[in-house]
Structure 1
Amino acid sequence: MKYVLYGRVIDSVKDEAVENGMVIVDGERILYAGERNDEMVTDDMQVRDAGNGTIMPGFIDAHAHLTGEESRNSSGTSAFDALLTVVKDLGELVDAGVTGVRDMSLFGKPLKNAVEKGNILGPRITPGGRVLSVSAGHCDFDTDLSVKEANEKSLTGYLMDGPEDCLRGVRQQFRDGAEFIKICATGGVSSAVDNINDVQFSDEELRVIVGEAARHGTYVTAHCTGTAGTLQALKCGVTCIEHGVMLDEECIAIMKEKDIPLVTTLSVALGLADMKNLPDFMMKKAVSVKESAMNSFRMAHEAGIRVALGTDYSNTGNTPFKHIGKEFYSLTRCGYTPMEAIKAGTVNGAYLMRKDQEIGTLEAGKLADLVIVNGNPLEDILVLADADNISTVMIGGKIVKG
């Protein structure tokens, strides 16, 4: 199928929009993106006119948990219930304009396979497996279970202690289809058994994890809240930081020198304190990091750190996929321009998915993953924050919404 799309074009390459723009799609790829040129249009092309809308790359959420979290409150509590809920969730992601996801859960690989085979509707998925944590660490959510039982049951975390256990844990994630590795370098807001400033792995454990990931040709990203654990992770070879809500000048300097990206998860960092039905310990932690988070992200912006949009959403009542585009607005609260926020949620996310040669920008030869948005996000970034404003979604040249 061939399409010609008329409208304002944001390609995530240039720093400005093409107001009288055009995108031509031939099969699964983009043939042209730029100024309108009707001489390129042929009779076999389907025409779509965005009017005052904007054609832009599909959104990429660089930090999501496809775990069917809402199934705990509705259909049931088994892994099967959760997986069926995730299938529904993937459709809601697409509806919100998301065409790519970097997932941290047990389900990532089978979901990726099902989407690629066309068995279910969903965005492109880069699976990271379960999040690696020490016992009594950030992903130790049920201390009534033994470590063995927790690892058998959890859809999100995998507990391990000591270098040998770390080696086994990393290899297990690759066995489950992980394409990158995520660890908890520090404590976190949502865990009851640790403090946000806790340093969780030893240097030796971290080097084992980073080394094994390198042998598989990939990288390690780290959940980081406390400053000391963030520094330790950076010095031990971690090459991406998630959250980064307590960065200091030394952290920023290392990240700048080594081109280490930051995934901000601002919608959670800034919004957690206002969410409903959270336990007291979580509320207290959330309030304690809100101001430092804003400061960290402003520092990262001033230093020119590569930033990717991530939400940390799992489609609960507090983290609905319908409003996943709110993260764009959240970035602008920390000094980012709307265009910088858009690049964070498109091309920079593609970079962390390791697919930036294929997706993330509107350029000739790339896969046609794009959205048409009602309005102009450069004038009002909040138009991206509601799925109802996303009129068309295309993945690989196929219209999956609109």
Structure 2
Amino acid sequence: MLNHNRPRPEPGEASAPGSLWLTNAHVVDVRTGDLRRDRNVEITGGRVARITAEAPAPGERTVDLGGRYLVPGLISVHTHLSVLYPFSDADDDEDSATTVLRAAARARDALNAGVTTVRTLGEQNRADLMLRAAAAEGWAPAPRIVGAGLAVSTTGGHGKGGLSVFADGHDAFLRAARAELDAGADHIKIFITGGIAHLGETFNSSQTSPEEMRAAVRAAREHGTYVVAHAGGSGAIREALACGVRGFEHGYDLDGETIAQMARHRAFLTPTLTVTRCPDWMRAHDFTEWQIELAMEVGPRHLDSIRRAVAQGLNTTGDPEAPGITIVTGTDYPPGEPMDGTVTQVREMQFLTDAGLSPLQSLQAATVNAARLVMLDHEIGLVEEGYVADLIAVGSDPTSDIAALHDIPLVVQGGRVVRDDLPAAPTGGQQ
């Protein structure tokens, strides 16, 4: 279970209206791709109460979807809402108010883009935990935040720019991880290799010892949660699997043996293909040319790595207890950022189809699979009776083409409509 040192109301749920009907919807079951056509969805108390062919009673509050497809709100499991671009070590000393305001603006954009839940993986000044509290009070619109607070890294390791606390050795790592959990973190993020954002490091270089990894895992398990690792290369991932690390970010260079071990351990993989495939976005955000060149140089290797993971290790059974890798969707960048005619979250989902996922599997990576990773699969990730009403509507079937998500005219979070760009209801309709 998640760390519950403080109250965690669902965004919008406590004050959700008594009843809302979404009518004339094709409801997508993201587990199978099956459609329940021409259905009406009743939302009560922030949750889906009924999915039915029956019409709502006269006078009920309704939103007519006009035959659009209703799918779960999207989940991004790798984001940094507060990070400054381009990356800089000078970001460490920024005041917390500035950091939280920047994170809040990006969170609002993500929510409007249909991302109703985010997992953060290292935020300056623990901005994610502060923003989560503000959203719970109704002060700031934001996706549901499953937060890490500060990540934990080693001295001189990846994760600079205010994202991390630095510790060395078993005991220091244990203290650092426990401190984040005590501050309200839901999971622990560690950096175990270098990356592609800083000079003087490579993504295949191990930066964290097995003793340090085991310390982080121990702290997480004490609180009923897990450790996720920034990991570029295979050697460090194999060490981390043996230490009990549950999830891995990036996977720039996965070999066959590592993929097999990840499958045996039922590991989660967040490819973040966006970070090595978006030169125009990087230039628009003032990344240096060497940063762009390095990312693009790694790009083909990165894509081949994820293609191998999909071909050789993917869990395709639908059974979470079966061996296999579960792929989930995360962008690294804020998920509501404009990119290539859509937003980063949807662009990443399209990149996953380039790596071999079907559109349905890509949709699963951003809904039901991601919900399981963040341990909220009993609450979110499906359009089902009893689940929190985090929902989006699109004009065509996203299980056939992820491009359907380029236009999301309706976003519902916790039973509250947070975006409605649908055409006006016909005369006599209730809106």
- Provide TM-score, normalisation by structure 2: 0.82
Residue aligned with 2:361, SS:
helix
2:113 to 84, 96, 113: 96
Give the stretch that moved more between structures: 83-92 or 218-227.
Answer: 83-92
Give the stretch that moved more between structures: 253-262 or 354-363.
Answer: 253-262
Is residue 23 from structure 1 mapped to residue 41 from structure 2 by the alignment? Answer: yes
Shift of 1:27: 2.5
Match of 1:356 in 2: 377
RMSD (Å), alpha carbons: 2.5
How do 1:372-387 and structure 2 match up within 5 A? 372-385=393-406
Is residue 120 from structure 1 mapped to residue 143 from structure 2 by the alignment? Answer: no
Match of 2:96 in 1: 79
The one-letter code sitting in structure 2 at the alignment partner of 1:140 is K
Mapped contact 2:76–2:335 kept (Cα < 8 A): no
Mapped contact 1:5–1:23 kept (Cα < 8 A): yes
Mapped contact 2:349–2:402 kept (Cα < 8 A): yes
Residue aligned with 1:244, SS:
strand
Match of 2:9 in 1: none
Match of 1:147 in 2: none
Residue aligned with 1:45, SS:
coil
Superposed CA deviations along residues 321-358 of structure 1, whole A, max 9, x for unmatched, are 94432121111111111111111111111112211100
Is residue 3 from structure 1 mapped to residue 21 from structure 2 by the alignment? Answer: yes
Shift of 1:289: 2.3
1:331 to 346, 352, 358: 352
Q: Which whole-Å CA distance do the structure 1 matches of 2:164 and 2:280 have between them?
A: 23
Q: Which whole-Å CA distance do the structure 2 matches of 1:84 and 1:333 have between them?
A: 35
1:59 to 71, 74, 81: 74
How do 1:304-315 and structure 2 match up within 5 A? 304=314, 305-314=325-334
The one-letter code sitting in structure 2 at the alignment partner of 1:93 is A
2:196 to 189, 200, 203: 189
Residue aligned with 1:324, SS:
helix
Match of 2:218 in 1: 211
Q: Which whole-Å CA distance do the structure 2 matches of 1:71 and 1:274 have between them?
A: 11
Q: Which whole-Å CA distance do the structure 2 matches of 1:23 and 1:299 have between them?
A: 40
Match of 1:346 in 2: 367
Shift of 1:72: 10
Match of 2:208 in 1: 201
Match of 2:180 in 1: 173
Is residue 129 from structure 1 mapped to residue 149 from structure 2 by the alignment? Answer: yes
Q: Which whole-Å CA distance do the structure 1 matches of 2:158 and 2:40 have between them?
A: 47
Q: Which whole-Å CA distance do the structure 1 matches of 2:390 and 2:58 have between them?
A: 23
Change in Cα spacing, 1:97 to 1:234, as seen in structure 2 (3 Å) is: same
Is residue 396 from structure 1 mapped to residue 414 from structure 2 by the alignment? Answer: yes
How do 1:290-301 and structure 2 match up within 5 A? 290-301=299-310
Change in Cα spacing, 1:252 to 1:315, as seen in structure 2 (3 Å) is: closer
Match of 1:41 in 2: 56
Q: Which whole-Å CA distance do the structure 2 matches of 1:306 and 1:231 have between them?
A: 16
Q: Which whole-Å CA distance do the structure 2 matches of 1:120 and 1:134 have between them?
A: 34
Change in Cα spacing, 1:269 to 1:252, as seen in structure 2 (3 Å) is: same
Match of 2:4 in 1: none
Q: Where do 5+ consecutive residues of structure 2 fail to align?
A: 1-18, 315-324, 421-431
Shift of 1:306: 0.9
Q: Which whole-Å CA distance do the structure 2 matches of 1:316 and 1:299 have between them?
A: 28
Residue aligned with 1:132, SS:
strand
Q: Which whole-Å CA distance do the structure 2 matches of 1:240 and 1:283 have between them?
A: 26
The one-letter code sitting in structure 2 at the alignment partner of 1:333 is D
1:370 to 391, 404, 414: 391
Match of 1:150 in 2: none
Q: Which whole-Å CA distance do the structure 2 matches of 1:392 and 1:209 have between them?
A: 40
The one-letter code sitting in structure 2 at the alignment partner of 1:334 is A
Q: Which whole-Å CA distance do the structure 1 matches of 2:292 and 2:343 have between them?
A: 24
Superposed CA deviations along residues 293-317 of structure 1, whole A, max 9, x for unmatched, are 2122222222222111101013797
Q: Which whole-Å CA distance do the structure 2 matches of 1:136 and 1:318 have between them?
A: 32
Match of 2:65 in 1: 50
The one-letter code sitting in structure 1 at the alignment partner of 2:152 is L
Mapped contact 2:111–2:336 kept (Cα < 8 A): no
The one-letter code sitting in structure 2 at the alignment partner of 1:53 is R
Residue aligned with 1:92, SS:
helix
The one-letter code sitting in structure 1 at the alignment partner of 2:201 is D
Change in Cα spacing, 1:284 to 1:197, as seen in structure 2 (3 Å) is: farther
Mapped contact 1:102–1:127 kept (Cα < 8 A): yes
Change in Cα spacing, 1:4 to 1:80, as seen in structure 2 (3 Å) is: closer
The one-letter code sitting in structure 2 at the alignment partner of 1:291 is P
- Provide TM-score, normalisation by structure 1: 0.88
Give the stretch that moved more between structures: 182-191 or 320-329.
Answer: 320-329
Match of 1:256 in 2: 263
The one-letter code sitting in structure 2 at the alignment partner of 1:261 is F
Residue aligned with 1:209, SS:
helix
User: Percent sequence identity over matched residues?
Assistant: 31
Give the stretch that moved more between structures: 111-120 or 12-21.
Answer: 12-21
Residue aligned with 2:253, SS:
coil
Q: Which whole-Å CA distance do the structure 2 matches of 1:200 and 1:318 have between them?
A: 33
Q: Where do 5+ consecutive residues of structure 1 fail to align?
A: 142-153
Q: Which whole-Å CA distance do the structure 1 matches of 2:402 and 2:345 have between them?
A: 13
Change in Cα spacing, 1:242 to 1:68, as seen in structure 2 (3 Å) is: closer
